[in-house]
Structure 1
Amino acid sequence: MTGKGAADQSETDRSEQILESIRNQIEDLCYIHEHMTRVLINLDIDEDWFSGYDEQERAKYDFKAMILTLVYMRARNIGQSEMERRLHGVASLGVRFGFDNIPDQQAISYNQKNRFDNDERVLLKKIADELVETCIEHDIMHDTEPKIELDKIDHEQVEEQEIMDVVEQATEIGFQEFSADRGSNTSYPLDAFFERQGYINLAKAGTTTKSRRFARLSNRKDVPHGSTHNRTMKKVADPDAQVTFAEFRDGVTPEWKRIRDEILEPFHAGVEAILKELTSGEGAESAIREPVHAAIDITVWPYHVSPYWSNRTASNKDKNPIELDIDGETKLIDPDYPELVSGTKDGERGFKMATITIVAQDTPIVLGVEPVRDSRKFEKELGIDIDSPPRGETVDRLIEQAKQHVDLHKIFLDRGFDSDQTRAIIDQHESLYVLGKSARADIDKEHIEEIKDDDYYDSRLVHGTLEYDGTEHDITYIYKESDTVDKKYVMFTVNEHIDHHRAEGLISQYGQRMEIENQYKSIKKHFLPTCASKDYRIRLLYFVIGVVLYNVWRLANYLLRDVVDFHLGESPPIPAGELIEIVGICMSKPPD
Structure 2
Amino acid sequence: MVESVTTPDSDDPSREEFLDAIEAETEDLCHIHDHITRIITNLDIREEWFRGYDDPDRAKFDLEPMVRLFLYKHARELNQSEVARRLRGAAYVYLRLGFDQPISQQIISHNKRNRFNAAERSLLKDAADVIRTVCGEHDVIQSNEPALEPEDVQHDQVSEAEIMDAVQRATDLGFSEFSADRASNATYPLEAYFERQGYLNMSRAGTTTASRRFARLSERKTVPHGSSHNRTMKKVAKPESQLTFDEFVTGQQTPEWKRIRDEVLEPFHAGVENILDELTDEDYAEAGFTEPVHAAIDITAWNFYASPFISEQDARTSDKTPIEVTIDGEEKLLDPDHPDLVSGLKDSDERGYKFATITIIAENTPIVLGVEPVRDQRKWEKEMGWDVERTSRADIVESLLEQASRHVDIHKVFLDRGFSSLETRDVIDQREQLYVLGKPARAKVDQDHIEDIQEHEAYDSRIVHGSQTFDGREHEMTYVYTPSKKDGDKYAVFTINEHVDHHRAEALLGQYSQRMEIENEYKTIKKHFLPTSASKDFRIRFLYFVIGSLLYNVWRMANFILRDAVDVDLGDHPPILAGELIELVAFCLFDPPD
| TM-score between both structures, scaled by the size of structure 1 | 0.78
Using the alignment, how far apart are the partners of 1:316 and 1:70 within structure 2?
Answer: 57
Q: Return the alpha-carbon distance in structure 1 between the equivalents of residues 131 and 490 of structure 2.
A: 58
Question: Once the 2 structures are TM-superposed, how far is the Cα of residue 377 of structure 1 from its aligned partner?
Answer: 1.0
Mapped contact 1:70–1:124 kept (Cα < 8 A): no
Aligned to 2:473: 471
Give 2:437's aligned residue: 435
Partner in structure 2 of residue 340 of structure 1: 341
Cα distance in 1 between the residues matched to 2:229 and 2:133: 34
**Contact kept? 1:296, 1:412, Cα under 8 Å:** yes
Distance in 1, Cα, partners of 2:573 & 2:437: 29
Give the corresponding residue for 2:180: 180
Aligned to 1:491: 493
Alpha carbons of structure 1 residues 564 and 128: separation in structure 2 relative to 1, 3 Å: closer
Tell me which residue corresponds to 1:228.
Answer: 228
CA contact (8 A) 1:154 1:575 kept: no
User: Which residue of the partner structure matches residue 48 of structure 1?
Assistant: none
The aligned counterpart of 2:103 is none
Task: Determine if contact 1:324/1:332 at 8 Å carries over to the other structure.
Answer: yes
1:209-235, CA deviations, whole angstroms, 9 ceiling, x for partnerless residues? 112221111111121111211111000
Instruction: Give the alignment of 1:32-431 within 5 angstroms.
Output: 36-38=36-38, 40=39, 75=75, 91=94, 95=98, 127-130=134-137, 135=141, 140=143, 150=150, 153=153, 155-238=155-238, 251-281=252-282, 285-347=286-348, 348-431=350-433
Q: Which runs of 5+ in 2 are unaligned?
A: 1-22, 44-64, 79-85, 100-114, 242-249
Cα distance in 2, alignment partners of residues 435 and 429 from structure 1: 15
Cα distance change of structure 1 residues 181 and 479 upon mapping to structure 2, 3 Å threshold: same
Q: Which amino acid aligns with 1:188?
A: Y
Contact 2:149–2:584 at 8 Å: present in 1 too? no
Return the alpha-carbon distance in structure 2 between the equivalents of residues 259 and 438 of structure 1: 34
SS where residue 370 of structure 1 aligns?
Answer: strand
CA contact (8 A) 2:147 2:583 kept: no
Moved more, 152-161 or 517-526: 152-161
Aligned pair in 2 of structure 1 residues 203, 383: CA closer, same or farther (>3 Å)? same
**Distance in 1 between residues matched to 2:453 and 2:285, nearest whole Å:** 42
Residue type of the partner of 1:482? Answer: S
Cα pair distance change 1:363/1:90, threshold 3 Å: closer
Q: What amino acid sits opposite 2:541 in the alignment?
A: R
Cα 1:250–1:383, aligned 2, differ >3 Å: closer, same or farther?
A: farther
- C-alpha distance in 1, partners of 2:476/2:284? 33
CA deviations 1:424-462 (Å, max 9, x no partner) are 000001100000000111111001101111112111111
Paired position in structure 2 for 1:511: 513
Taking the aligned partners of 1:488 and 1:129, their CA distance within structure 2 comes to 49
Quote the offset at 1:317 in angstroms. Answer: 2.5
Q: Return closer, same or farther for 1:493/1:73 CA change in 2, 3 Å cut-off.
A: closer
The Cα of 1:124 is off from its aligned counterpart by: 7.1
SS in 2 for 1:561: helix
> How far apart are residue 409 of structure 1 and its match?
0.3
Partner of 1:528: 530
- Give the distance between the partners of 1:426 and 1:41, measured in 2 at CA: 56
Query: Does the CA contact (< 8 Å) of 1:218 and 1:588 recur in 2?
Result: no
Q: Secondary structure at the match of 1:480?
A: strand
Query: Which stretch shows the higher mean deviation, 312-321 or 490-499?
Result: 312-321
Q: Which residue of structure 1 aligns with residue 19 of structure 2?
A: none
The residue aligned with 2:543 is 541
Q: Secondary structure at the match of 1:230?
A: helix
Distance 1:479 1:74 in 2: 56
**CA distance in structure 2 between the partners assigned to 1:148 and 1:123 by the alignment:** 25
Q: Shift of the alpha carbon at 1:167?
A: 0.4
Report the residue type matching 1:37 in the other structure.
T
SS at match of 2:563: coil
The secondary structure found in structure 2 opposite 1:299 is strand
- Cα drift, residue 76 of structure 1: 5.7
1:469 positional shift: 0.9
Q: Is the 8 A contact 1:432 1:494 kept in 2?
A: yes
Residue of structure 1 equivalent to 2:106: none
Counterpart residue number, 2:457: 455
SS at match of 2:566: coil
CA distance in 1: counterparts of 2:297 and 2:198, whole angstroms = 26
Quickly say closer, same or farther: Cα 1:420–1:283, change in 2 above 3 A: farther
Describe the shift of the 1:408–1:568 C-alpha distance in structure 2 as closer, same or farther (beyond 3 A): closer
The yes-or-no answer on 1:564 pairing with 2:571 is no
Structure 1: stretches of 5+ with no match in the other structure: 1-14, 46-64, 79-85, 97-103, 113-120, 242-248
How far, CA to CA, are the matches of 1:342 and 1:546 in structure 2?
Answer: 21
Deviations 1:187-219 (CA, angstroms, capped at 9, x unpaired):
111111111111111111111111222111111
Aligned-partner residue type, residue 199 of structure 1? Y
* TM-superposed deviation, 1:360: 0.3
Q: Is the 8 A contact 1:475 1:494 kept in 2?
A: yes
Q: What displacement does 1:309 show?
A: 1.3
TM-score by length of 2: 0.78
> What amino acid sits opposite 1:432 in the alignment?
L
CA contact (8 A) 1:408 1:431 kept: yes
1:117 alignment counterpart: none
Q: Find the aligned partners of 1:268 and 1:380 in 2 and give their Cα distance.
A: 34
The alpha carbon displacement at 1:570 in A equals 4.0
Q: Distance in 1 between matches of 2:553 and 2:270?
A: 13
> Aligned-pair distance for 1:129?
4.6
How far off is 1:253 after superposition?
Answer: 1.0
The question of whether the paired residues in 2 share the 8 Å contact of 1:448 and 1:479 is answered with: yes
CA gap 1:476/1:250 in 2 versus in 1, 3 angstroms:
farther
Structure 1 CA distance, aligned partners of 2:308 and 2:365? 40
Tell me how many residue pairs correspond in the alignment: 509
- Distance verdict in 2 for CA 1:498–1:154, change over 3 Å: farther
Task: Mark the CA change 1:482 to 1:268 in structure 2 (over 3 Å): closer, same or farther.
Answer: same
Q: Say which is worse superposed, 556-565 or 364-373, in terms of deviation.
A: 556-565
Residues 80-125 of structure 1 deviation map (CA, whole Å, 9 limit, x = unaligned): xxxxxx99x98466559xxxxxxx999x99xx9xxxxxxxx99978
Distance 1:581 1:191 in 2: 17
8 A contact 1:153–1:574 mirrored in 2: no
Q: 1:479 to 1:568 in 2, by over 3 A?
A: closer
Root-mean-square deviation (CA), in Å?
Answer: 3.8
Q: CA deviation at 1:153?
A: 4.8
Checking the alignment, whether the CA contact within 8 Å between 1:343 and 1:349 is kept in structure 2 is yes
**Does the 8 A contact of 2:290 with 2:364 survive in 1?**
no
- State percent identity of aligned pairs: 59
**How far off is 1:22 after superposition?**
6.3
Report the AA paired with residue 182 of structure 2: R
- Amino acid in the other structure paired with 1:185: N
1:280-305 CA distance string (max 9 Å, x none): 13998211110000000000011111
